[in-house]
Amino acid sequence: MVARGLFVVFEGGEGAGKSTQVSLAAERARALDLEVVTCREPGGTPFGEAIRAALLHGEGTSARAELLAFSAARAALVDEVIAPALGRGALVLCDRFTASTVAYQQYGRGLEAALVEHAIELATGGLRPDLQVLLDLPPARGLERAGAASDRFEAERLGFHERVRAGFLAQAADDPGHWLVLDAEAPPEALASAVWSAIEPRLPRS
């Protein structure tokens, strides 16, 4: 990889507070006059937002079709938003990325690891986050915090969400140097401070 900005991803189950932490980190970075780009998955481009609507609010589909739809949205986001921003030296903060695919489609849906990894590689071209922040909490608590199910993933049975959580924790355990695991039930400002303490030393230096 050529010299680039910093790519930070926020991961976790339903109701973990990812969007809140993305906003707080972006606010702190902008106060330092850093260029910040925020995005979410699926989405972040017109093509990706159309896929998001179909995936979250459309009729159910097969696990394999779901994987490919997420991958198509991701490829557009990487090509049109993330890679150009990193090339400019920006701080990119993304709500979900490849770890969610492993957690939801591999652990949650039961797809083969090799199939999931191939789809990830095709969509990202090998791009990997510099830091992945896992906001972890028991799924029952997360679903309670999220409230009434607003999409078909939130409406899944508790066992599905337990498998998803196990998938996130397994990935973090396998690569601790690139993961920060936090208790999502801690106060938002305390979480934001911990996140920034992990981001700040990784920022590119001029």
Structure tokens at 142: 């997360």
- pLDDT confidence of residue 189: 97
Please count the other Cβ atoms lying within 10 Å of the Cβ belonging to residue 149. Answer: 12
Structure tokens at 163: 């498998």
Q: What is the mean pLDDT of each run of 10 residues along the chain (206 residues)?
A: 80 95 98 97 96 87 94 98 97 98 98 98 98 97 81 90 98 98 97 98 84
Whole-number Å distance between alpha carbons of 149 and 14: 10
- pLDDT confidence of residue 1: 36
- pLDDT confidence of residue 206: 60
- pLDDT confidence of residue 83: 97
Phi and psi, residue 189, nearest 5°? -70, -35
- pLDDT confidence of residue 154: 86
The candidate with the shortest Cα–Cα distance to 93, out of 158, 19, 32, is 19
- pLDDT confidence of residue 152: 85
- pLDDT confidence of residue 60: 75
Structure tokens at 73: 């949205």
- pLDDT confidence of residue 2: 42
- pLDDT confidence of residue 204: 85
